[in-house]
Amino acid sequence: MHPTVGVLGGGQLAWLLARAAQDLDIPLWVQTPRPDDPAIVLAGNHLAGTVIAPWDDPAGLAQLLTQCHIVTFENEWVNLPFLAQQATPQVVFRPSLASLSPLLDKYHQRCYVKSLGLPVPAFWLLRPEDSPPTLPLVVKARRHGYDGLGTRIIHTAADWAALWQTWAVPSVLAEVWVPFDQELAVIAARHPQGDIATYPVSRTYQAQQVCHWVYTPASLPPSVVQTLYQHTHTLMTALDYQGVLATEWFYLADGTLLLNEIAPRTHNSGHYTLDACQTSQFHQHLRAITAQPLGSTALTTSGALMVNLLGYETATRDYARQRQQLSAWGRVYWYGKNQSRPGRKLGHVTLLDVPPQAIDHWVAQVQSVWQSGATPANLIH
């Protein structure tokens, strides 16, 4: 009998974890404040149980801890002091609260990574009264940023002044703008005994700080791939990390690698693993945190293209026609979010056996179908 797993968070990552848990015969509970979250709506009948309560609700967490042997995370919005206070000896957090501690605040994350000797862009902690040390500058909220929310590019002094009119925070992480050639992503999993399984390196494409597509395997020199794997091993070992962790990297024209982001969880850049690898990132995460042997990360296709189905309008729609059309080309995952807004991740589609020279063609094809019901005013390019 496998241990019961609890997930803090109820979004699409929790839903996909629930699907994997069913495959692995792992009882899984979900705690989320919203009863209409994807994990509740799409996987509710297959869950061992649900707790509808905020993540920092003592009664809700106590219920989750009473039912579960292991608790894991779907997002980084957790309150670590609260969890540490409420923790019980009978329940294990994986990844551990100690391994999450240096990662949740983006400024602390940068300082920690730098202390390990891993390459990062030049960065600063800036307050409203400070002057930008250089321009352009990338500014990030220290907590709770995702999908472009909490990230700004500052080009002028006027941009800097305007930032503080809209962001009610005492300080921000600021980084030099990096003229990268490609953005790369690495998904890896670490077993409690220290074994690490790393997936092929992916190339990602971002626009307006939102990921539009991911292609695997990235076309890179073997030495670059090896360096990325070494950096990933260094990071996960130093953290004594358990479970799946995602890292995003800048790759410069001169071969320089710089770490951009760390996500201590399953990640959008690893969705291709659902259809293109022997073991998906969701199965792998559950295997790791329940101390089962890690599965193979080998690709089962010559090339996988995952395209995010992003909102391009403010509307209530299920896009059933578009999804049906896209299913002729690949596997469509719909997150059950019928409230669309620009940039919101509503689903994704994965196409297999796509050669790297055909990426632009297939991205354009998918986006053409996806936005086929839009009026020109609603289109995002």
User: Which pLDDT does position 53 carry in this prediction?
Assistant: 97
User: Which pLDDT does position 377 carry in this prediction?
Assistant: 40
pLDDT for 72 beyond 50: yes
- Of all residues in the chain, the percent with pLDDT exceeding 70 is 97
Q: What is the CATH number of domain 301-381?
A: 3.30.470.20
What's the chain's average pLDDT? 95
- What mean pLDDT is predicted for residues 248-254? 97
- Those residues whose C-beta lies under 8 Å from the C-beta of residue 168, and which sit 6 or more positions away, are none
pLDDT for 295 beyond 80: yes
Domain boundaries in the chain?
5-93, 122-176, 301-381
Same fold: 5-93 with 301-381: no
pLDDT for 240 beyond 90: yes
Which pLDDT band, with edges at 50, 70 and 90, does 379 fall under?
very low
For residue range 115-156, list pLDDT tens digits in order.
999 999 999 999 999 999 999 999 999 997 766 678 999 999
For residue range 25-43, list pLDDT tens digits in order.
999 999 999 999 999 999 9
- What mean pLDDT is predicted for residues 351-368? 98
For residue range 155-198, list pLDDT tens digits in order.
999 999 999 999 999 999 999 999 999 999 999 999 999 999 99
Which pLDDT band, with edges at 50, 70 and 90, does 375 fall under?
very low
User: Which pLDDT does position 149 carry in this prediction?
Assistant: 72
Q: Higher confidence at residue 147 or residue 8?
A: 8
Which pLDDT band, with edges at 50, 70 and 90, does 251 fall under?
very high
Q: Is residue 11 a contact partner of residue 260, using CB atoms and an 8 Å limit? A: no
User: Which pLDDT does position 148 carry in this prediction?
Assistant: 61
pLDDT for 225 beyond 50: yes
Which pLDDT band, with edges at 50, 70 and 90, does 245 fall under?
very high
The class that CATH gives domain 5-93 is alpha beta
User: Which pLDDT does position 376 carry in this prediction?
Assistant: 40
Which pLDDT band, with edges at 50, 70 and 90, does 374 fall under?
low
3-state secondary structure the chain: CCCCEEEECCCHHHHHHHHHHHHHCCCEEEEECCCCCHHHHHHHHHCCEEEECCCCCHHHHHHHHHHCCEEEECCCCCCHHHHHHHCCCCCEECCCHHHHCCCCCHHHHHHHHHHCCCCCCCEEEECCCCCCCCCCEEEECCCCCECCECEEEECCHHHHHHHHHHCCCCCEEEEECCCCCEEEEEEEEECCCCCEEECCCEEEEEECCEEEEEEECCCCCHHHHHHHHHHHHHHHHHHCCCEEEEEEEEECCCCCEEEEEEECCCCHHHCCHHHHECCCHHHHHHHHHCCCCCCCCCECCCCEEEEEEECCCCEECCCHHHHHHHCCCCEEEECCCCEECCCCEEEEEEEECCCHHHHHHHHHHHHHHHCCCCCHHHCCC
**Predicted model pTM:** 0.95
For residue range 80-109, list pLDDT tens digits in order.
999 999 999 999 999 999 999 999 999 999
Q: Higher confidence at residue 308 or residue 78?
A: 308
Give 122-176's CATH code, choosing from 3.30.70.270, 3.30.420.40, 3.30.1490.20, 1.50.10.20: 3.30.1490.20
Which pLDDT band, with edges at 50, 70 and 90, does 1 fall under?
confident
